[in-house]
Amino acid sequence: MPELPEVETVRRQLEPLVLGRAIVEAWGHPSAKFASAPLAAGSAVDAVGRRGKYLLLDLDDGRQLVVHLGMTGQLRLRPGSEVDPYVRAWWALDDGQVLELRDVRRFGRVGVVAAGEWATLPTLAAQGPEPWDPALDDGGLWHNLRRSRAHVKTQLLSQRPIAGVGNIYADEALWRAGIHPARRTVTRRQADRLLAELRAVLEQGIANGGTTLRDYRTVDGGEGRNQLELGCYGRAGQPCGRCGTLLRRSVVDGRGTTHCPACQPRR
Ligand SMILES: [Zn+2]
C-alpha cells in the first residue's frame, strides 16, 4: 500500500504537470468511492498538497479534490483516454492530458469537498500530525502513543499518533529504534528514538522515490528504489544487519510483521 513516501513522490511528480490546469471534463466509477470525481470539473488546480497518505488538490473555487490510492491505486497522465477497465476516475485537463486513477482492487477513494472540510473522510480527519510537525518533538509522539494501550505498531498504522506510516515504514522504524512491534507501552526515550527513526526512514523513502513491491508506480510509470534499502521489512529468515540474528515474521493485530528477536526485545 502506498505510504507517505510513495504519495509524496506522486505529489512531487504531479505538481508541475497539473498546477494551474483547468479540469474540463471528468468521470467517476459509480461506486460511492469514486462517484464524486466529476464534481471537480469546471475548476482549476491551484495547489497539489498531501496530508498523510492523502493527495489534496486545491481547486480555485475553495474546494479540494482528495485522492487516496488505497492498496493498488496509481495516478498517471495520458494524452487522451484509453480503454482500461481498471480506471476508476479521470479528469481531462485543458492541455489535452487526462489524469487517471487506475485502481485494480478498488480500495482507493476520491472526494470533492470544501477545503479542509473532511467530515466525510473520517480517516483523513482523524490523522495525527505530519511526521515533521514540531508538535511531535519534546515528547509529543510519546504523549500521543500514551493515549492508547494498543500495540505500538498498530498505533502507528492507525495514523492517529503520527500520519503517513504504513506496514513497511513501521517495521523499518521499529527495527531501527530497537522497539518490539507488539509492545503496549514505550518509554519517553524509546518514543524519541522512534520519532527520529520514523523521520529517517520516511526521508530515505522519499529520496528513493518510494518503495515498489508490487503495484506502486510513479506518475510516469516508473518504480521506486527504496525496496533495495530495506533492512527489516520483508526480510524474515535473513540475518539482522545489526546483530546477525535471523529476523522473525509474526502477525501483530492481523498485519504481517518482521522484527529482530535480539534487537527488539518484547520487554
Ligand atoms: Zn538484530
12-25 tens-digit pLDDT: 999 999 999 999 99
Q: Residues with catalytic annotation?
A: 2-3, 53, 255
What does pTM read for this prediction? 0.96
CA of 225 to the centre of ligand 1 (A): 24
pLDDT for position 81: 66
Determine the distance separating the centroid of ligand 1 and the alpha carbon of 242, expressed in angstroms: 5
Please list, in sequence order, all residues whose beta carbon lies within 8 angstroms of the beta carbon of residue 197, skipping any fewer than 6 positions away. Answer: 172, 173, 174, 176, 177
CA of 24 to the centre of ligand 1 (A): 54
**Separation of 93 CA from ligand 1 center, angstroms?**
51
Cα-to-centroid distance, 235 and ligand 1 (Å): 12
CB atoms within 10 A of CB 262: 15
Q: Grid coordinates 515528547 are at which residue? A: 139
Which ranges of the chain have pLDDT less than 70? Answer: 81
Question: What is the CA 236 to chain-centroid distance, rounded?
Answer: 23
pLDDT at site 80 = 78
pLDDT of residue 258: 98
Q: What is the pLDDT of residues 153-178, one digit of tens each?
A: 999 999 999 999 999 999 999 999 99
Identify the pLDDT of residue 83.
83
